[in-house]
Structure 1
Amino acid sequence: MSVDRRGQAEAFDGIGQSYDDAFPHKEGQLAAGRRLIEALPPGSRVLDVGCGTGLPTARQLTGAGHTVLGTDISAGMLRLAEKNVPAAEFRQIDIADLRADGPGGIGRFDGIVCFFALLMLPRPEIPAALRRLHGLLRPGGLLALSMVEADLDDVAIPFLGHTIRVSGYLGDELRQVVGEAGFDIAGEATYSYAPTSTDVPPEQQIFLHCRRG
């Protein structure tokens, strides 16, 4: 990884299967996946950024007949993803290293899903990451994006027995950052969600449905 996120990757290597055990339902993620599937042409090429274990999104997309490339920084998560969704392709790539062309280039996509992956970045990196996703989309391509609504920048938090660093935005600022990266926001949904294995207060999850402008 060109950016040193070894601590984040090692934390998710350790979390592994317990992530899906703690977040078993993912209603917002499934609904956003359905909306994307309905909007994409049949047989589209889709990038799943921060794919984790491949559940539910990579499986949902391949089940609908789309070609999926999932990327993540955690080798442990990717091993689970390969078992969970054998129809998809998975690669260990940091979001900062995603590029369409040149060495290591992954080409361009009709759609991108980026569910909670931007949480793992310090705020100064998020606008550049969004512009990178914009560049990976074909003209008119679609982005399904989710974040937890929170006014945070690179804050260490306990998470499923490990420590990770997270960032977030309040809703208006998130919309502004996404718009400034070149996306038109076509729809939005908000969900209140808490892991089953903890007694923490529910988090507010924002799902944005975007099109490359």
Structure 2
Amino acid sequence: MGFDRTGQAEAFDAIGHRYDQAFPHKEGQVAAAEWLIKSLPPASRVLDLGCGTGIPTARQFAEAGLGVVGVDLSGAMVALAREHVPTGVFHQADIADLRPGGPRDLGRFDAVTAFFSLLMLPRAEIPLALRTIHRVLRPGGLFALSMVEADVDDFSIPFIGTTIRVSGYLREELREVVEAAGFDIVEESSYSYAPATADVPPEVQIFLRCGRRA
């Protein structure tokens, strides 16, 4: 399978410091990470897929004493995450690099987060990404993810002065895709969100808290 990321990393490289300014309120993301922190034993190992600048999620985990590993396609985002969360370990890599037989093996984790990172993939790749997450989780591991509710596939949108391609699902289909990859959904929540920038439209964000099915 070929993985076309043309322009995706470059877009986030260009956004850099502006990203957190454009998305200043991340209540759903913060709450999902807090659920993991409360549910995990001390010093658990957590993988933050699409870690961005490291704020807020990787920083939350580090401040809670968890071992945080972050992965992002954007080198600029990885550099910012290393500045913001000096105790974390961050890699510039594609989610697809972690697949079975792929070029990256980061070991096993007690929990994984994928906050708005799977939406950067074409729909055809999302089941593979979810199976990869299932594989890197230890038995009984936890998974928190978020997506924007939208019936789109690899669709180009304007985004903070640049262009990215995004995919999404309507709520029931998202649940089906996640469950088919071997996860039990423990809790679901949604938030109506208006970014602090004119060229990103309001959106509905879906958060799923999941457990790895054996």
TM over 0.5: same fold?
yes
Which residue pairs with 2:158 in the alignment? 158
What stretches of structure 2 of length at least 5 have no aligned partner?
Answer: none
Which residue pairs with 2:108 in the alignment? 108
Which residue pairs with 1:176 in the alignment? 176
Deviations 1:23-43 (A, max 9, x none): 012111001111111111111
1:64 maps onto 2:67 in alignment: no
Alpha-carbon distance change, 200 to 72 in structure 1, aligned in 2, over 3 angstroms = closer
3-state SS of 1:36 partner: helix
Deviations 1:34-65 (A, max 9, x none): 11111111110000000000000000011101
Amino acid at match of 1:141: G
Amino acid at match of 1:149: E
1:12-161 equivalent positions in 2, closer than 5 A = 12-99=12-99, 104-161=104-161
Amino acid at match of 1:23: F
Structure 1 segments, 4+ long, off by >6 Å, are none
What stretches of structure 1 of length at least 5 have no aligned partner?
Answer: none
TM-score, normalised relative to structure 1: 0.96
3-state SS of 2:53 partner: coil
Amino acid at match of 1:52: G
The percentage of aligned residue pairs carrying the same residue is 65
3-state SS of 1:188 partner: strand
Q: Distance in 2 between the 1:122 and 1:61 partners?
A: 29
Contact persistence 2:154–2:167 (CA under 8 A): yes
**How many correspondences in the alignment?**
212
1:197 maps onto 2:188 in alignment: no
Contact persistence 2:48–2:112 (CA under 8 A): yes
Alpha-carbon distance change, 100 to 153 in structure 1, aligned in 2, over 3 angstroms = closer
Q: Distance in 2 between the 1:104 and 1:126 partners?
A: 18
**1:93 CA drift (Å):** 1.1
TM-score, normalised relative to structure 2: 0.95
Deviations 1:66-104 (A, max 9, x none): 000000000011111111110100001101111478853
Q: Distance in 2 between the 1:160 and 1:67 partners?
A: 32
